[in-house]
């Protein structure tokens, strides 16, 4: 007997789900928020600045989606508690959490890295994602389950001299992803996207000539565009990845196979 298969696109449908995206007002976070909205999710855009959150949410609503903004500094422990509580009060649950917010301040010599810079990088890139995952993930596990997506970086596995604190934090994110998958399973899936260089607002500060030289060694010979992160995010957020957890997926144009080079 021939059975009609369920449409493949339906596996990526997020209709009726609540998705929270930190760092969701620009760059990769904004692209992920847009993809989730187009897939039918109610999207909560999180960033430090309230006006930026509302602007991004308004853009998503203008595209036909349901979206709100919530300002929060993800490096501040108590602000994350307030954020999780407020979203649960408003929506009743969180089905998808994307820990995307991140910073990588520049510095000169290694000895120029101050304790303040080090603590700030660890707080935003590692401490915050852990705390928010714990707060949201335990509620997911007590309810109908959900998906947590951490945004790492190929710097975690191919670090260079100019991103040592950031690379250390993102290596921690990779390890944390596997540990959280074990801690929150079987109802909560936890995975990570590990992007290579993408052309976003952050890349405006890069030396693009050096970037071009670096990406020439990549199999795809270029940096990524923000929208090219959407497929991986939709996969992890949706039922398409129902048997995938504890995975760190490189979305990098093959960068992990290229020799590291400074930007």
Q: Residue 166 catalytic?
A: yes
Residue 220 falls inside a structural domain: yes
- CATH of residue 125's domain is 3.40.50.720
Does the pLDDT value for residue 7 go beyond 90?
A: no
The Cα 258–Cα 213 span in angstroms is 12
Does the pLDDT value for residue 29 go beyond 70?
A: yes
Q: What is the mean pLDDT of the chain?
A: 91
Residue 2 falls inside a structural domain: no
pLDDT at residue 4, as a whole number: 45
89-119 pLDDT per residue, tens: 999 999 999 999 999 999 999 999 999 999 9
Residues contacting 10, CB < 8 A, separation 6+: none
Give 240: exposed, middle or buried? Use CB within 10 Å, 0-12, 13-18, 19+. middle
Does the pLDDT value for residue 162 go beyond 70?
A: yes
Residue 139 falls inside a structural domain: yes
- Phi, psi angle pair for 102, to nearest 5°: -160, 160
- Which has the higher per-residue pLDDT, 226 or 261? 226
pLDDT at residue 220, as a whole number: 80
pLDDT at residue 197, as a whole number: 83
Q: Are 38 and 67 in contact (CB under 8 A)?
A: no
The Cα 166–Cα 151 span in angstroms is 13
Does the pLDDT value for residue 190 go beyond 90?
A: yes
Q: For residue 2, what pLDDT band results from cuts at 50, 70 and 90?
A: very low
The Cα 165–Cα 119 span in angstroms is 9
Residue 3 falls inside a structural domain: no
Q: Which domain holds residue 56?
A: 15-257
The Cα 219–Cα 168 span in angstroms is 26
Strand 96-99, strand 224-225: pairing: unpaired
Residue 119 falls inside a structural domain: yes
Over pLDDT 70: what percentage of the chain? 89
pTM of the model as a whole? 0.92
Residue 5 falls inside a structural domain: no
Q: How many domains does the chain have?
A: 1
Adjacent-strand bridge partners of 9: none
Residue 97 falls inside a structural domain: yes
117-148 pLDDT per residue, tens: 999 999 999 999 999 999 999 999 999 999 99
- Which has the higher per-residue pLDDT, 177 or 255? 177
From the candidates 12, 36, 166, 218, give the one annotated as an active-site residue: 166
Range picked from 144-148, 154-158, 212-216 for highest mean pLDDT: 144-148
SS3 254: coil
Residue 150 falls inside a structural domain: yes
DSSP secondary structure string, 60-82? HHHTT-EEEEEE--TT-HHHHHH
Closest listed residue to residue 71, CA positions, set 57, 90, 61, 89: 57
């Amino acid at each position: 007997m021939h059975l009609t298969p369920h449409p493949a696109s339906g596996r990526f449908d997020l209709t009726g789900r609540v998705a929270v995206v930190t760092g969701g007002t620009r760059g990769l976070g904004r692209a992920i928020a847009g993809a989730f909205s187009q897939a039918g999710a109610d999207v909560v855009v999180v960033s430090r600045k309230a006006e930026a959150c509302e602007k991004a949410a308004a853009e998503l609503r203008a595209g036909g989606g349901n979206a709100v903004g919530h300002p929060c500094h993800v490096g501040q422990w108590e602000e994350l508690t307030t954020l999780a509580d407020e979203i649960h009060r408003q929506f009743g649950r969180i089905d998808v959490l994307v820990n995307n917010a991140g910073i990588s301040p520049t510095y000169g010599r290694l000895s120029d890295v101050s304790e303040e810079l080090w603590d700030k990088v660890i707080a935003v890139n590692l401490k915050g994602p852990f705390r928010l995952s714990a707060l949201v993930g335990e509620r997911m596990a007590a309810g109908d389950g959900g998906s947590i997506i951490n945004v790492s970086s190929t710097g975690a596995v191919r670090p260079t001299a100019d991103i040592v604190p950031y690379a250390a934090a993102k290596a921690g994110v990779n390890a944390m992803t596997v540990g959280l998958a074990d801690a929150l399973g079987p109802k909560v899936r936890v995975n990570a996207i590990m992007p290579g260089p993408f052309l976003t607002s952050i890349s405006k500060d890069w030396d693009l000539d050096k970037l071009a030289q670096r990406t020439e060694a990549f199999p795809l010979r270029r940096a990524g565009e923000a929208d090219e992160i959407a497929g991986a995010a939709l996969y992890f957020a949706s039922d398409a990845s129902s048997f995938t957890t504890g995975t760190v997926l490189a979305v990098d144009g093959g960068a992990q196979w290229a020799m590291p080079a400074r930007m």
